Amino acid sequence: MDVDLSAQDLEFQQEVRDFLASNAHDPKTDYAQWRLNWFDLAKNKGGWDVPKWPVAFGGPGWTPTQHYIWEKETAVAQTPWDLPFGLSMLAPVLMNYGNEEQQQRFLPDIRARKVNWCQGYSEPNAGSDLANLKTKAQLSDDGSYYTVNGTKIWTTLAHIADWIFCLTRTSDSGKKQEGITFLLIPMKQEGIEVKPIITLGGSHSVNMVHFTDVKVPAENRVGDEGKGWGYAKGLLAHERTGLAGISKSLVALDFLRLQAGEVKRGNATLLDDPAYKSKLAELEIDLLATEFTELRSLASAASGAEPGPESSILKLKGTEIQQRIQKLTVEAGGIYSAAWGKQPVGHSFAKGGMSGYLSSRAYTIYGGASEVQKDVVAKNVLGLKKAK
Amino acid sequence: MNFDLSEEQQLLKDSVDRFVSDNYDLDTRQALSKNDAGFSDTYWQTMAELGWLGVTVPEAHGGFGGNQADTMVLMEAFGKGLVLEPFFASAVLGTRAIVAGASAELQNTLLPKLIAGECRLSLAYAEEQARFDLEDVVTRGTQNGDGFIITGHKSMVQHGGSADYLVVSTRTSGGQQDQQGISLFLVDTKSEGVSIQSFPTVDGQQASEVTFNDVRVSANHMLGDLDNGFGLLQDIAIDGILALAAEAVGAMEILYKDTVAYTQERQQFDQSLSDFQVLQHRMVDMFMEYEQCKSMLYRATLEVVQKGRDAMRIVHALKYMVGKNGTFVGENAVQLHGGMGVTEELRIGHYFKRLLVIDAQFGNSDHHLSCFAG
């Protein structure tokens, strides 16, 4: 057992640090231009713009340790914003199940961050029970196109997306997991209506998307008709491991400590308050353990093993930790956390704290609610039967 | 980066797993715990023959030359079997004191006997007024000619009744709670003035209250330097916490697995208990708290072995987590076993009791949380 980085890993870590330091954004220059340029430079490093893509599709072929180093370093450095939908969720499906034409048509634009994708999975009556989805796709008699009717919900960033990858129902016979078809649909067209949903944090990121007689060419179907559930399931596993956010939480916790240190309490600060101090300590300990649980999971992946039982814990523990950090931020703000306008009041960090906390309540709901994750662990790890 | 055991550690694990599964069914264990000594002398000799008693003794002294990670392998397996032999008291705590603090002469006489199982040690550090603070020491060590005279009382000395020597923390100078002014001595339990009251503990093991009434110790039985023994005492405690945590992780594994198995067998309302989602989720929680403890155990052990800057903090974090999660897993194992869970008949209650004692040893979870928080 050892957790020391090898000489090569240390060299890699330095290379990553150098790259991130020398390509940080200069506030005097245009952000959008810098962003696209940054991905270009990363691409020239040998696939650093698509760390998780396989080598065959231009990825860097890093070891799990290198991925870990990248996560750690990019969590503290300034990197351009990026979205997971095309890059981490759709791309693996296309690589595994798309045909060559689809791969050539969609992957380069995803890689260049030119096209924004959104995910059309959940429906008003298909949340945790995702396979219950009803959005209907009817193949035309000549087999050349599908007509799509139905409603998707909680569609993150549908209002800025160019495309949506969608689970649709093409057949009602058999089990509900059968008869689901994976379609790629352009967003900017007749028959698609995007309605904003404002969440508790007061922000607009999720939407309701209505499809009315939307025509989708059959060539936009990924894989076989009726097999979409199988393609989508693999994608959910990718989504889960990405949602733990351990590296980001480590940075956020440091930040939280600074904030709490600004809050005066008598002659001391909030950091000296026994109750607050104790909650902060418990949070840090849980994070330290979860970070190592992630390392164990990476190490077992590195040795070629299937993801061990420890990986199933990451989404559950990781999202809870993110929520606790948000909660302690709100607590640090005290009464100022109640202010809801654009005007900053009280501590510099108080504005936005409440909104962040309220938004974070979704973390244990999306990507498979915590209760669904526990069902998964019960079945796959403890070997129990599906509960009634 | 890897968490695999080395080839040597794997061999060690195989042999200790075999020892536990061959020798430690519940009935045998319960019978042994009612012996005078509270364990089996035969098993103790087996441990010596297999080289375990010298696992952390340097090779130059005939030991295995291992570190805390090797001890972890043994202790985790002992935790799965609720092993009774005083490995922890003697081969972990006592031996560390000798290896790190004894004179060359004393090491030469004592280490071979320790490795051979001919001699047993324990650590006498706890005092009633100190609660969990190692530096709060009232027992006095007073210089007298060439040697020292020890006077005072030590509590809850694990397996003190079967120990040949005790490692005793004494106050040789300074105030009651000063780290400076503490000295450690190796005291022969047969010395005049040592009186030992032994009693069982709730986990089926044994402990002793020990009174030192003007006990004479020669100067070459001092471990570490005069007045500067606190660092050594703390190092012994760190090794102790790592070993206890490994034992706890072993015990927690048995508890969650036994619970899963029991709820699958037990039929109520015309179905297995394990088919109820509310019970499944509880068991998932037990499993997760076990895995998190294991992660923290690895983290702390590696941090200590590699002498990391954060070692002490991580050890505090570990002991906090072991206490909290161990109690959680134990209480829920009992709960999910229903009425059977509160009987002596099933083994889970015994693992639960061991975890409760582990929480209290070397500082409970509250103590270590406040140390961690600073």
Within a domain: A366: yes
Domain with residue B309: its CATH number is: 1.20.140.10
3-class SS of residue A372: helix
**Nearest residue in B to A271, CA atom:** B373
**Nearest residue in B to A301, CA atom:** B2
Chain A residues near residue B242 by CB distance under 8 angstroms: none
Confidence at residue B358, expressed as pLDDT on a 0 to 100 scale = 98
> CA of B2 to nearest chain A CA: how many angstroms apart?
5
Range of the domain at A77: 7-82
- pLDDT top residue among A29 and A368: A29
User: What is the b/e burial string over A280-309, where b = at least 16 CB atoms within 10 angstroms of the residue's CB?
Assistant: bbbbbbbbbbbbbbbbbbbbbbbeeeeebb
Nearest to A316 among B3, B6, B288 (CB): B288
Are B282 and B294 contained in the same domain?
Answer: yes
Read off the pLDDT band of A308 (50, 70, 90): low
pLDDT at A240 over 90: no
Query: What is the domain count for chain A?
Result: 3
Confidence at residue A306, expressed as pLDDT on a 0 to 100 scale = 61
**Nearest residue in A to B7, CA atom:** A1
Answer yes or no: do B287 and A381 touch at CB < 8 A. Answer: yes
pLDDT digits (tens, 9 = 90+) for B76-124: 999 999 999 999 999 999 999 999 999 999 999 999 999 999 999 999 9
Instruction: Give residue B296's identity as a one-letter amino acid code.
Output: M
Q: What is the 3-class SS of chain B, one letter each residue?
A: CECCCCHHHHHHHHHHHHHHHHHCCHHHHHHHHCCCCCCCHHHHHHHHHCCHHHCCCCHHHCCCCCCHHHHHHHHHHHHHHCCCCCHHHHHHHHHHHHHHHCCHHHHHHHHHHHHHCCCCEEEECECHHHCCCCCCCCCEEEEECCEEEEEEEEEEEECHHHCCEEEEEEECCCCCCCCCCEEEEEEECCCCCEEEEEEECCCCCEEEEEEEEEEEEEHHHEECCCCECHHHHHHHHHHHHHHHHHHHHHHHHHHHHHHHHHHHHCEECCEEHHHCHHHHHHHHHHHHHHHHHHHHHHHHHHHHHCCCCCHHHHHHHHHHHHHHHHHHHHHHHHHHCHHHHHCCCCCHHHHHHHHHHHHHCCCCHHHHHHHHHC
Are B219 and B148 contained in the same domain?
Answer: yes
Nearest to A384 among B1, B274, B285 (CB): B274
Chain B residues near residue A381 by CB distance under 8 angstroms: 284, 287
- pLDDT above 90 coverage of chain B, percent: 96
Domain with residue B88: its CATH number is: 1.10.540.10
Per the DSSP assignment, residues forming a β-bridge with A208 are A153, A195
Are A146 and A213 contained in the same domain?
Answer: yes
Which token pair is B212? 């030192």
Range of the domain at B22: 7-119
Read off the pLDDT band of A241 (50, 70, 90): low
pLDDT at A239 over 60: no
pLDDT digits (tens, 9 = 90+) for B270-305: 999 999 999 999 999 999 999 999 999 999 999 999
Are B56 and B174 contained in the same domain?
Answer: no
Confidence at residue B199, expressed as pLDDT on a 0 to 100 scale = 96
Confidence at residue A235, expressed as pLDDT on a 0 to 100 scale = 66
Mean pLDDT of the region A157-180: 95
* Burial (0-12, 13-18, 19+ Cβ within 10 Å), A114: exposed
pLDDT digits (tens, 9 = 90+) for A248-294: 999 999 999 999 999 999 999 999 999 999 999 999 999 999 999 98
- pLDDT above 70 coverage of chain B, percent: 100
Within a domain: B358: yes
Confidence at residue A366, expressed as pLDDT on a 0 to 100 scale = 86
3-class SS of residue A348: coil
The ipTM assigned to this model is 0.94
Confidence at residue A237, expressed as pLDDT on a 0 to 100 scale = 62
Domain with residue A174: its CATH number is: 2.40.110.10
- pLDDT top residue among A69 and B110: B110
The Cα B127–Cα B153 span in angstroms is 7
Read off the pLDDT band of A242 (50, 70, 90): low
Query: What is the domain count for chain B?
Result: 3
Domain with residue A370: its CATH number is: 1.20.140.10
Are B211 and B245 contained in the same domain?
Answer: no
